Amino acid sequence: MKKKILITGGSGFIGTNFINFISKKNINIINIDKISKISTADKFKKIYYKKNYSLIKNNLGNPIKIFNILTRFKPDIIINFAAESHVDRSINDPVYFIKNNINASTNLFYSYSKYYKLKKIKLFHISTDEVYGSIEKGDFKENDAYEPSSPYSASKGSIDLIATSFNKTFETNIKILNLTNNYGPYQFPEKFIPNLIFHFLNNKKAPIYGKGKNIREWMFVEDSCNAIWKTVTSKKKFEKINIGSGIRNSNLEIAKMVFNIMKSKNLTNLNSNNFLKMVKDRPGHDKRYALNSNFFNKIIKYKIKKNLYDGLKETIFWYIENSEWHSNVNKSYNFKRLGLID
């Protein structure tokens, strides 16, 4: 019998890449996504066995519906990607973020806890390094305390706590995967790297928050998909696992790399001395994220394949070659600055 996998938020950036990636395997995939303006329509997905895939357009906030989907589809694995994910938007509308993210995952966990009585499957919940907050030196381990700085990361941190509470109270088997910053194809242009690409392509100086010294750990999304797949199919025991690349760069370094690649390929007319615009910093902007992925490296043994230069180059060319996708998503985005408090 073919394995069945239920993905939530499978029309977002990582979810779309993940579904494309696993569609090559002989498994049935069902995707529950509310389809928001940042979501990728199915016609843009590159799904290998189309008949093995279906989308249910639904908000996870409805527990009865989710339980019915679970009992009808009978998944063998659940992976929860669904969340509102842009920090700046969470500053503009914190109440919406907290409500959406916490309701969606809690309702999913609750439906899963009932389904778990019928079938003992695992639910993998995708979390972020942002839950730990900022770290000047060193890196965060799985059992370090959570000190989130934005409404987005606080909502994600809360969900992680809810997940572990479900494992205790309902004796479920939810596993938390804390990922670092991803980049690559299908990322909505309001996020840092596609935002740079679109500014440079349009010969406009790209905005950099503050002094551009904030450091993030970067992982090419295809590596994340591989790492997630290896983790969810592993027989190793864990409740929580950090999945990072160790590739840590400041926003300024990333912007320079993206610009230099584009300039060397004649993709921008901007001047090499004048391609950035320093703008007011994000409120509560974390200085540095760094994950300790020793546990992942020890038990999963997946080696990150893509270095930053190759990953950025591939990403830039993906955006250039997929103009139909971006003219479609850009209809709902005007590149206006978000996340400032007046």
Q: Which residue numbers are catalytic?
A: 129-130, 152
Q: Smallest distance, Å, CB 180 to ligand NAD?
A: 6
- Give the three-class secondary structure for 112: helix
Residue placing its CB nearer to ligand NAD in the complex, 193 or 262 = 193
Angle value at C-alpha 105, between 165 and 40, nearest 5 degrees: 155
Sign of CA dihedral 255, 83, 43, 19: positive
**Cβ within 8 Å of residue 67, ≥6 positions away:** 111, 114, 115
Interface positions with ligand NAD (CB under 6 A) = 9, 11-15, 33-36, 38-39, 59-61, 81-85, 100, 104, 126, 128, 156, 179, 181-182, 188
Smaller CB separation from ligand NAD, 129 or 275: 129
As measured in angstroms, the least distance from the Cβ of 111 to ligand NAD is 12
Query: Which stretches within the chain are classed as H helix?
Result: 13-22, 63-73, 87-92, 94-118, 151-169, 192-201, 221-232, 251-264, 294-299, 308-321, 323-329
Q: To which residue do tokens 């899963």 refer?
A: 112
Reading the block at residue 213, the tokens are 């010294």
Complex with ligand NAD: residue 56 or 320, whichever CB lies closer: 56
**Nearer residue to ligand NAD within complex by CB, 158 or 268:** 158
Residue 16 Cβ vs ligand NAD, minimum distance, rounded to whole Å: 7
At 143, which amino acid appears? N
Cβ burial, residue 228 (10 Å; 0-12/13-18/19+): buried
Q: Could you tell me if residue 171 is left (phi over 0), alpha (psi between -120 and 50 degrees) or otherwise beta? A: left
268 contact partners, CB below 8 Å, separation of at least 6: 200, 201, 203, 259, 262, 275
* Strand 53-57 to 174-179 pairing: unpaired
DSSP class per residue in 272-300 = TTB-EEEEPPPTT--SB--B--HHHHHHT
- Measured from the CB atom, is 184 or 268 closer to ligand NAD? 184
Find the shortest distance in angstroms from Cβ 85 to ligand NAD: 4
Q: Are 128 and 176 in contact (CB under 8 A)?
A: no
Residue 18 Cα distances to 38, 44, 147, angstroms: 16, 14, 29
Token code pair at residue 197? 């690409």
Q: State which residue, 157 or 270, has the beta carbon closest to ligand NAD.
A: 157
Minimum gap (Å) between residue 114 Cβ and ligand NAD: 18
Least distance (Å) between residue 21 CB and ligand NAD = 13
For residue 156, the minimal CB distance to ligand NAD (Å) is 5
Task: Give 14 or 276: the residue with its C-beta nearer to ligand NAD.
Answer: 14
